[in-house]
Amino acid sequence: MALPTSIRERPRRTAIRAARVFDGHVMTDGPTTVLIDGSSITAVVSGHVEPENAELVDLAGATVMPGLIDTHVHLCFDASPDPVATLAERDDDAARTAMTAAARTALAGGVTTLRDLGDRTYLSLGLRTPDPAPVQPLPRILAAGPPITTLAGHCHFLGGAIADDPRAMRAAVRERAERGCDVIKVMSSGGVMTPGSRQEEAQFTREVLTAAVDEAHRCGLPLTAHAHGTSAIADCVAAGVDGMEHVSFWTTEGVEAPEHLLAAITERRIVVGMTVGMAPAPDHVPPPEIVARLPLILATLRGLVERGAVVVAGTDAGIAPPKPHDVLRTALGQLAEVGIGPLEALRVATTGAARVVGLADRVGRIAAGFEADLLIVDGDPLADPEAIHRILAVYARGVRV
């Protein structure tokens, strides 16, 4: 017999006691209670209150903070030594199963929202969690579908290859909009995972990139571009992209970041998706050209941060052994290398990322009316950076994981 409506639809009420709260902007020390009703936060109360008809979760010494937001992941890649070959061996059903497991890994690591910037055959769209969250929720997923690339271009094996032509580009953008993608991803330069592709080489002409941006905006979608090479970055800036991923200013000989491009990126508020976060992987040896350029890339990113550019942390999770799908926590401490301190790092991965992915009114905050996406850790992550890894609980839309 079905339960009465009044019982079946009764919302879940939870009161979480903690020693402190990072609300997405500031860290507040002192006993605090966060009240959850169903999938939403209803109040943040100073002191340890005991509301009626609520499950009490008492976590002495803990910090409650918003769930983390990873702005660049690939659920279809499994963080193995050869994720491209592994994916090629899987049919769609097997890939979907592996992607679900990857999403759950991210969620268990505190990532309650992620942006998948490249899958195969739109598989990530089918993983987006409906409201309300199921008993075993996944992170909130924003999906780009197969990244748009040139014929034989970077990541062409994901199914998004088109001719370098404005009409073909507009059609590709419309297809993604019609399928319900949340963001458009374009490969404006080559990349290391695709044989025959080079980071310093631009893939699409400036005219075609401009058509991509125009069509994406006409469809009401933001566009972010994979952009390593300096020439590709220049084309993206001229085309008016909303964001760029990596932004390494890669050239044949090294790294070249012209002053006028740094100024334009900052002034036009083009989002810089910094590729950060590395988990220990002793057997993984990065390509020597990356090792040689890394200090210069970090110096360029530091310069953008000092200028006040809009930056977010996108891990590129899945592409290699140091990039498991829960790697975002490691990025918080590593952001110090580009001049971002502990408090600002937390903001970058919560409120800042929420603004960039278009969810600032729903996630990234511990405040009344926001989704109950929570990461609760043992200790104070500002005083003890290792505390971010001591996870006590994760909540996704009010459901404890």
- pLDDT digit string, tens, across residues 275-321: 999 999 988 888 888 999 999 999 999 999 999 999 999 999 999 99
Query: 366 phi and psi, to 5 degrees?
Result: -105, 95
Q: Please answer whether residues 92 and 121 qualify as being in contact, where contact means their C-beta atoms are separated by less than 8 angstroms.
A: yes
Task: Tell me the pLDDT of the chain averaged across its residues.
Answer: 94
Let me know if domain 11-66+364-400 sits in CATH 3.40.50.300.
no
Separation of alpha carbons 280 and 7, rounded Å: 48
pLDDT 10s digits, 12-46? 799 999 999 999 999 999 999 999 999 999 999 99
- pLDDT reported for residue 135: 65
3-class SS of residue 278: coil
Separation of alpha carbons 363 and 102, rounded Å: 21
pLDDT at 257 over 50: yes
What is the band of 5 on the pLDDT scale with cuts at 50, 70, 90? very low
Separation of alpha carbons 258 and 274, rounded Å: 18
Positions of E strands within 148-235: 149-150, 161-162, 184-187, 223-229
Higher-confidence residue of 6 and 375: namely: 375
- pLDDT reported for residue 1: 30
Percent of the chain past pLDDT 70, that is, above it, reads: 96
Q: Report, as an integer, the average pLDDT of 226-244.
A: 98
Tracing tokens 């508020």 back to the chain, one arrives at 269
- Model's pTM, two decimal places? 0.95
Residues in the chain: 401
Amino acid identity for residue 249 in this structure: F
Tokens matching residue 164: 């370098």
**Domains in the chain: boundaries:** 11-66+364-400, 68-356
pLDDT at 10 over 60: no
* Whole-Å CA distances, 111 to 68, 190, 223, 315, 382: 5, 28, 22, 11, 18
Q: Please answer whether residues 325 and 317 qualify as being in contact, where contact means their C-beta atoms are separated by less than 8 angstroms.
A: yes
pLDDT at 115 over 90: yes
Separation of alpha carbons 18 and 377, rounded Å: 10
Query: Fold for domain 68-356?
Result: TIM Barrel (3.20.20)
Residue 112 CB coordination number (10 Å): 29
Of 26-40, 126-140, 219-233, 336-350, least confident by mean pLDDT is: 126-140
Angle at 213 between CA 207 and CA 218, to 5 degrees: 125
pLDDT at 108 over 80: yes
Q: Report, as an integer, the average pLDDT of 226-238.
A: 98
- pLDDT reported for residue 130: 65
